[in-house]
Structure formats: C-alpha cells, structure tokens
A and B are shown apart, each in its own frame.
Chain A
Amino acid sequence: MKHRNAALAPVLQQRTDIWAANDLPDAAQPGIPSGHPALDAELPGGGWPVGELTEVLSDCHGHGEMSLLLPWMAAASRREGWLVWVTPPARPHLPALAAAGLHTSRLLVIDADRPAERVWALRQALESGACTGLAGWLNKADTAMLRRLQLAARATTLPLVLFRPLDDRHLPSPAGLRLLLSPGPEHALRVDILKRRGRPASEPLHLRTRAIHPPATPLPPVAIRSPRRPALTLIA
C-alpha cells in the first residue's frame, strides 16, 4: 500500500472502515508468485491468480514471453504431477528449460490441432487433479470455450495461463486477468495489464524475463574462420 501523503498513511492503516481506491482488493486465495516482484505487486493476490483463467495476448516472438512464466513453472515442477503445455508454438529446448530450473521430466506436451481439442485437453488436465501447472496456446477461441475453461479452472487451485493472439484483445473474455505483451525498450518485455480484479492498471511494466541480457549496442558479427575437421586416421 503506497500513499502519497505520508502523514495520512498511519491513519488510514488504523481505520479499517476506510477503503482506499488505489488498493487492490484482497483476492479470495493468494496468488502464486510469478518470480517477478514488479509484476506480483500489480496482481491481486500477489501473483498468478489461482482458480482463474489468465490470458496472455501477444504476437511477439523472441521477447521473453514464455520466460515470464518460467519461474512459476520451475517452482511448480518441483511437485509431483504434470506440467502440461498444450500445443506450444515450437519445440521446447530442454537445455534452456533445465537452465531455468525446470524439472523437465515432468513436462507433458500435448499436440492438438483444433481449438476445441485444445480446450478439451486443458479441461481434462485441469479436472484430472494430476497437474501442477498448465499453459495453453489458442490461436482461435470463442467465448463459450473460454467460459468452459474458466469454469474448469474455478474448481481447481491452479492458475491456467492461455496464450492468445494480439488481435483477440478486443474480443470479450471471461478471464480474470488479461496481460498484453509487446517488445519494450532495451530488450525488456512490456507488460500491459488490460484487465484485473480491482482498479484498472495505468502504467505498463517493463520486465527482464530472459536470462540473456543483450547489451544496448551489440557488436557487429565477427568473421568466422572455417574450422578444420578433426584429424582422424583410420588404421586398416
């Protein structure tokens, strides 16, 4: 809780009958820390909301979108159960996931073509009680599908994160939290909170989600000399 007027702050803290409009409401259940303190501060419940559908709208590729989820996923993978990714946009590269602390042997990758199948798979995973974390990529979704996912998520204590294309940001959505990702300055990831429980967010966040921090002015490529093949002598 931050108050501009320092003298007012202790008074407000004592009074429980005064509600400050810039407070975020207490979530019914505390969220799961996202691993990015700046983001946690802006999320009701202080993290990824549990039992709730979270939408991540993004068209960018290579700005650390998935890395936003990795701290949570890595923590979730320490518990017994599946970490389910439904139709990721490319092949996950295991050494990078392992470097982020993810127990990769608990990762379950599901490939499904049609959006309805992806939604079905997510719901099955939610209802199975065998998952510790879920992420899905939906290129096309109607409100009924999202509503079903939202209902399935409510019955659990897991966050359900859904990646959707940027164009869908104008479509209505039952999701409790909607984040818009775009490239920010200096290789940061810009996060706009489109929707959350409580007062709307005004300012975007700039997060460094990746382990790679490129310098502001990268160097030109170095000419690469052709290496020689290892010398091998075969003795017949």
Chain B
Amino acid sequence: MLWLALVFPEWPLQARFRTRDGTQALAVSQGQRVIALDAHALAQGVRVGQRLADALALAPDLIIRSRAPAAETAALKDAAGCALHFTPRVSLDHDALLLELSGSLKLFGGLDRLQRTLQRTLAAAGFESLTACAPTPRAARWLALGKPGQRVRHLAGLPDALAPLPLEVTGTGDAALLPLRDAGLRTLGEVMALPRRALTLRDAGPLLTLLDQALGRQPDLRIDHSAPHRLDSRVELPVPRQDSDVLLFAASRLFNAACARLAAAQSGIGECALELEHERQPPTVLTLRTGQPTRDPRMLASLTREHLARIALPAPVAALRLQATDWLLMPGRSRDLFGAQAPSLPETRAAASLLVERLRARLGHDAVHALSGSADPRPESAQRPVEPGTARPGQARPRRPLWLLTEPEALAERDGQPWRHGPLRCLEDSERIEAGWWDGLDTPSADEALRDYRIAIGPRQEVLWIYRDHRPPHRWYLHGVFG
C-alpha cells in the first residue's frame, strides 16, 4: 500500500477564493476572527486569530469572506474529481485527500511524475497542495501537514519519520492535547517513547488509537469517494467583475477541474451550461456546444470567449457555475507502432463540427449552413440551407448558372427583347420549367412556376440566366448569373 496525502494550505481560503489571481489581499473569517489568509495579507501584518477590525485597520483593502463549510465540501469534491484521474481509490479526509497509488505508479511513470502531474492538474483547477507518502493513510496525512514532501515507503521507517512531528498534526483538538502538553510533551516521538499505561492514565487513549493506525498496528479503513456522473461546480470571484479576461480565468478553473474529472471517467461532454451569476439579477446562461464529445478545457474556453465577445452582460459577475449532465463515452485512441497519432477520420469530423459550433458561437446560429439538394424542379427550391452534416447531394444539371438571385429581378423590355443596361441576346436553346402547379391545383398559387429559361448575353459580355414568365404580364426576369 502506498498512500499519498494531499493537504491544502489555508484550505478555507483556497476553497472560498478558487479564482484568486494573486493580486489582492484575501482572508476568510469565522466569528469575527481571521482564520485563513493569503501571502498579501500576511505581508501587510494580518495574522490568523486577529479580530476583523484589527485586520482591516492593518490592510484596508483586504477582501474578507466568512467561512462557508458547504463551499469547502464542494471544492474538496471537485479536487477529488481531479484526483480520480490518477487512481480510483480517493477518499476525503476532512480537508485533505488521501490517494492509494500502488496500482497507478507504473501507468503514470513513477511516483515523481505522478505527483508532479497531479499537483499541476490540481493547480489548474485552482488548488495548491502539499503532499507526503506513507504506507498508511493517517501517517501520510500527518507527514503532509508536518513535513511536506516526505516519502516513507515501508512500515518500519514510520516511527522514525513521525517522531519529529508536533502533536498538533494529529488534529485531535486542544482539549485532548492539553494533558500531554502539561506533561511537557511536544512531539509524537516523545509520546511514542512513553509506556502506554502512563499515557492511558493521562487520558491520551484517543491519540494512542490514532497513533496505532498511523503506524499500521490497527486497521484504518477508508471509504472510496464515488463521484457522480454529472458536473455541477461553482466558483466565486473575489469581487464582482465584468471584464472577459477575468471571467475566462475563473471559467478556466471550472473547465480544468471538469475535464480532469471527465478524463477519469473516459467521457466527454457535448454540451454544458455556464451560468454567470449576478448579485441582484437572474444569471446569464451561456450554453456551450462542442458538436462532438470533448474534454479539452481550451476548447471550452475558446467557445466561452466567443460567447462573451457577443453578449453584453447586464451586471458584474459574482460567481460562475458549470453544469453538464449528459456524459458521453469517449474511447481512447491507440498510438501506432512508432508512437505517432495521425489525425484519424473521426478527428477530422470532430474538428469539422467544432468549427461549425465555434463560428456559430460568434456569428449566430443561422449564419453557418450547408446546402442540401431537393427534387423540386424550381431552381429557387433546388437547394435549401440545412444543418451542416445533414446535406444531401443535389441533382447535377448542366447549363445552369452558378449563382442564383435571391429574388428574380424584373427586366425591362424594349422591342420585344429583354433589356438590362442594354439589350440581352438570348441563346438558342431554352429550358421550360413548369412546376408548383400541384400546390394549388385549380386555383393558381403564388409559388406556381411556368417559365421558359434562356441563357442570355449582356452588353458587357456577361452570361445571364433569364426567364419569361408565362403568367400575365409575361415579363422577363433575371434569375441567375454564370459566375
């Protein structure tokens, strides 16, 4: 067994300000006292345990939020979702994560690389973490708190590794530690050196149990975290903001966490909703569609950028929430013999549908379309705009113009000849199109066509497609251009 503990320094702050960008002094309070703060606040003299009024006096632009246990739980579950990519055995432990890694080391190229990738993944989702490894989960947690970076591979090495740690890493609370402190005990090593009977007499029973678990002398069962197959996570901005760079940065936290979670489930999403919450108004909802299942955070970010460029936000955004319910399985892709991954047909298709969605995100849904053929002989009905990818091929007809006018242009007539900036000379052959009469059978309908099409040469030698309408008043019309 090899357990990796991930602890998050200043966890209440990290959970509350996942979108921090290191430019403002931030703090989290509980009961009028500061309980967590960032480096900026520390530099200005703010300390843990200070009264809020004192803290504000020291750092007037300090942004303070009260502690939110629900947000901390949700954030820890988000972080656990990211960690699931590396091992299925992830358990939540108050404000830390415990990962059993013995089965994953080979796949991720050893403990060093796994740990680096894991911490990078978490950092992209807005979590800074410290780690330690040990054969038991509790020892890993204590080491991560007391001596980050330490790695103990064997049970036999545990007593020596744990000995210098202060008693506070056990997290049993001041009341339980007080009798030991009174006896002058400061570190775990000093406690381990005492006879058990002496400790039991000093009410240190609960601590002894924990110590036994940490040293592997008693079982310490952990329940694997099972993440649901849907995404719903939320981040708050330190201050409500409207500029798209800030919003994109905050959204990227969500996307990175979501995509790591999707990678763990070998899934992707084809659609997700990004809610931009305002303070006193209903949220602005951006629906991001990728066309093909994806778990690429950059793709989602670029779609968001297009949406943000198009809409006007009614108010500054206070929080962002990402939701996606329909997960689609994304099978993995094998490399070829030489390790290369050539773009396959499905990839070209994925890129093709992504292009359509990206263009639509900015230009609007109707601005992008394909053309589908139809059996209707009326030239204006021979093609109709359809959803890209659903177009059917049309019937090929020679002697037809490349461009069709949206509305036929009525032509003047002089001496019985059609006229457009000069006389039009018609070619010999004509094509009669008689269609649409079935629309109205007895009553002549507006869509009915009874036309003789001619190819005509204009005064500038341009080749046009004109027709004479057989319904009164028998006018000439220009309908197409041989471009």
A residues touching B (Cβ–Cβ < 8 Å)? 60-67, 70, 80-82, 88-99, 103-105, 107-112, 117, 120-121, 124-125, 128-131, 183, 187, 210-212, 214-215, 218-224, 226-227, 229-230, 232, 234
Contact = CB atoms under 8 A, between A and B. Distances in A.
A112 B371 contact: no
Given A124-B358, A129-B343, A218-B457, A109 B351 contact: no
Given A104-B371, A128-B354, A212-B482, A187 B400 contact: no
Interface in B377-417: 379, 382-383, 385, 388, 391-406, 416-417
A214 B434 CA distance: 25
Q: Which secondary structure dominates chain B's binding surface?
A: mixed
A108 B461 contact: no
Interface string B132-176: 000000000000000000000000000000000000000000000
Contact of A63 (B406, B450, B463): B463
Given A93-B379, A221-B417, A234-B441, 18 more contacts: A62-B483, A64-B463, A90-B405, A91-B403, A92-B371, A93-B404, A94-B394, A95-B382, A95-B397, A96-B397, A96-B400, A103-B393, A121-B363, A183-B462, A211-B399, A222-B428, A227-B470, A229-B450
Contacts of B358: 124, 128
Nearest to B350: A130
A105 B392 CA distance: 6
A94 B382 contact: yes
22 contacts: A60-B460, A62-B458, A67-B483, A89-B403, A92-B404, A93-B402, A93-B480, A94-B371, A95-B400, A104-B393, A105-B370, A109-B368, A109-B369, A110-B363, A111-B366, A128-B352, A187-B461, A212-B455, A218-B427, A221-B417, A227-B450, A234-B441
Interface in B343-385: 343, 345, 348-349, 351-352, 354-356, 358-359, 362-363, 366-373, 379, 382-383, 385
Summarize A's interface: helix, strand, loop or mixed: loop
B307 to A, nearest CB: 14
B426 interface: yes
A65 B393 contact: no
Given A62-B458, A104-B394, A220-B425, A210 B368 contact: no
A128 B468 CA distance: 45
Contacts of A121: 359, 363
A117 B452 contact: no
A227 B432 contact: yes
Nearest to B481: A62
B336 interface: no
A69 to B, nearest CB: 10
Contact of A187 (B383, B426, B463): B463
B318 to A, nearest CB: 31
Interface of B: 343, 345, 348-349, 351-352, 354-356, 358-359, 362-363, 366-373, 379, 382-383, 385, 388, 391-406, 416-418, 425-428, 430, 432, 434, 437, 441-442, 450, 452, 454-455, 457-458, 460-464, 468, 470, 474, 480-483
B404 A224 contact: no
Contacts of B461: 63, 183, 187
A160 to B, nearest CB: 15
Contacts of B368: 108-111
B400 A99 contact: yes
A90 B345 contact: no
B355 A130 contact: yes
Contacts of B482: 62, 64, 67, 210, 212
A119 to B, nearest CB: 12
Contacts of A82: 352, 355, 388
A236 to B, nearest CB: 12
B67 to A, nearest CB: 45
Nearest to A107: B371
Contact of A210 (B354, B363, B463, B470): B463
B402 A105 contact: no
B363 A112 contact: yes
A81 B405 CA distance: 27
A117 B352 contact: no
A94 B391 CA distance: 11
Q: What are the 4 tightest A-B residue pairs by CB atom distance, in nearest-first order?
A: A62-B462, A90-B403, A95-B397, A98-B396
A227 B450 CA distance: 8
B391 A128 contact: no
A61 B393 contact: no
Q: Which of B355, B367, B450 has the most CB of A within 10 A?
A: B355
A35 B186 CA distance: 87
B439 to A, nearest CB: 13
A219 to B, nearest CB: 5
Given A94-B373, A96-B400, A128 B483 contact: no
A111 B363 contact: yes
Contact of B468 (A107, A109, A224): A224
B462 A80 contact: no
